[in-house]
Amino acid sequence: MVQKVSLGRLKLGDFRNYAELSLAFDPRHVVLTGDNGSGKTNLLEAVSFLSPGRGLRRAPYDDVARVGAPGGFSIFADVEGMDGEVAIGTGTESGEDSATRKLRLNGTPARTIEELTDHLRVLWLTPAMDGLFTGPSADRRRFLDRLVLSLDPAHGRRASDFERAMRSRNRLLSEGRFDPSWLTGLESQMASLGIAMALARQEMLGLLTRLVAEGGDGTPFPMAALTLSGFLDGQFDRPAVDLEETYELMLQDSRHRDAAAGRTLDGPHRADLLVRHAAKDIEAERCSTGEQKALLIGLILAHARLVANMTGHAPVLLLDEIAAHLDPGRRAALFDLVDALGGQAFMTGTDAGLFSALGERAQYFTVSGGTVSR
């Protein structure tokens, strides 16, 4: 059976509009209601920092610290996690590199931020993601990489190492330094990392596609057909070593072209996630706004089920303004599906009445101007 992961306490210091805050939770879902701008999403963002990365807003750490605060920000959480109870502390400190944040687990400094994934997985859906299907391909790649990262914590490190090697290659080419030894070494590294990234994405799509198909019937959220395009299309049935050799030769042959363009034109950084409405067989970007929202919700729920199945522990879900544009029937169905995942979900809205179908399955808090009350 899928095991539950839940937050028992959340403490914030100089985080966004919260100078100091301490909240206690039971394992039920958490509903946060209040006016726009009161700080509901800030609380979800704080929970999102219990996973690797820069949180659900992807904001610079300097922007996360409360305006006028003398130092950085701090987040502490007591979690009933995948490896038992754990006390998590993370944040930035005054006078230190603002581009990094520290992590302590049970009071002991962690070696890497990725150690958070040993204790919980955090997934989210925010209004900023509503334009995913119509926005730039970079947004869809980032979305897909976040899905991969929830099951393969090493994926983030591979992606950052690939970007670093690619920037070095671009710099050499832009300076006209076509030193074969330097370029061959960088291109070999890019090929190894890039193919590993692409294969991880393909594996995620395969797993997710099967799960979407299994869970698509009988829900108000349509099935999505997912494919990747833009990098070695149709070739991923070949061994990884052959793919690496192919990509490395592509990079060698395109040195002068990439130098003229000022960037690397082929690679996993150019791939695009293509989403179709399976039942209607049309591209997601051509669907109505409501259909796009339903497709996105269905994808997030399917991914949450996949994480639960693969890890044996349900993820913590962050659903910002999730009920605002759903009719009562779809809201009730959504809450039933979220509850069936077996985990703890944090949900926000402006009206507590929107969450009436949750009943006693949730605990309710009112957010107002930097204060939170039951």
The CA-based dihedral angle spanning residues 321, 316, 330, 205, taken in that order and rounded to the nearest 10 degrees: 110
Q: Where are the domains of the chain?
A: 1-121+313-374, 135-309
Residue whose tokens read 């990234």: 197
pLDDT the model gives residue 69: 86
C-alpha–C-alpha distance, residues 150 and 158, integer Å: 14
| pLDDT tier at 288, thresholds 50, 70, 90 | very high
pTM: 0.93
CA–CA dist 31, 53 (Å, integer): 24
- φ/ψ of residue 24, rounded to 5: -115, 140
Cα–Cα dist 31/347, whole Å: 5
Given a contact cutoff of 8 angstroms between Cβ atoms, the answer to whether 219 and 178 are in contact is no
What's the pLDDT tens digit per position in 304-354? 999 999 999 999 999 999 988 888 999 999 999 999 999 999 999 999 999
The answer to whether the CB of 284 falls within 8 A of the CB of 221 is: no
Instruction: Answer positive or negative: Cα dihedral of 275, 277, 283, 286.
Output: negative
Confidence band for 252, pLDDT divided at 50, 70 and 90: very high
Residue count (the chain): 374
- Strands of the sheet containing 18-24, edge to edge, are 18-24, 6-15, 74-81, 84-91, 102-105, 108-109
Query: How many other C-beta atoms lie within 10 A of the C-beta of residue 93?
Result: 14
Tokens describing residue 317: 């879900």
Q: What's the topology of domain 135-309?
A: Glutathione S-transferase Yfyf (Class Pi); Chain A, domain 2 (1.20.1050)
- Give Cβ neighbours of residue 152 (< 8 Å, ≥ 6 apart): 200
Distance between CA atoms of residues 2 and 5, nearest Å: 10
DSSP code, position 269: G
Question: Which pLDDT belongs to residue 169?
Answer: 97
Beta sheet of 362-368, edge-to-edge order = 122-125, 316-319, 345-349, 29-33, 362-368, 371-373
80 strand-pairing partners: 6, 85
CA distances to 141, 153, 220 from 54, rounded to whole Å, are 16, 15, 32
The token duo for 335 is 């809450």
359 compared with 215, residue with greater pLDDT: 359
pLDDT digits (tens, 9 = 90+) for 175-186: 999 988 999 999
8 Å CB contact between 30 and 347:
yes
83-142 pLDDT per residue, tens: 999 999 999 976 555 568 999 999 999 999 999 999 999 999 999 999 999 999 999 999
Q: What's the mean pLDDT in 165-178?
A: 95
Q: Residue type for 118, please?
A: D
Give me the pLDDT at residue 93, please: 79
In degrees and rounded to multiples of 5, residue 87 shows phi and psi of -100, 120
Average pLDDT of the chain is 93
CA angle 10, 14, 17 (to 5 degrees): 90
Angle between the N-to-C axes of helices 240-253 and 180-215, in degrees from 0 to 180, rounded to the nearest 10: 130
Output the pLDDT for position 370.
84
pLDDT of residue 99: 61
Please give the share of the chain, as a percent, with pLDDT higher than 70: 97
Beta carbons of 265 and 257 less than 8 angstroms apart: yes
Task: Give the pLDDT of residue 276.
Answer: 95
Residue 216 confidence (pLDDT) above 70: no
Strands 29-33 and 362-368: parallel
Which residues in 199-257 belong to E strands, given as ranges? 224-229
Chain-centroid distance, C-alpha 145: 7
User: Strand pairing of 74-81 and 84-91?
Assistant: antiparallel
Q: What is the maximum span of the chain, computed from C-alpha positions, in angstroms?
A: 67
| Residue pointed to by tokens 């006693």 | 360
CATH topology of domain 1-121+313-374: Rossmann fold (3.40.50)
Give start and end residues of each alpha helix (H) in 216-288. Answer: 240-253, 255-261
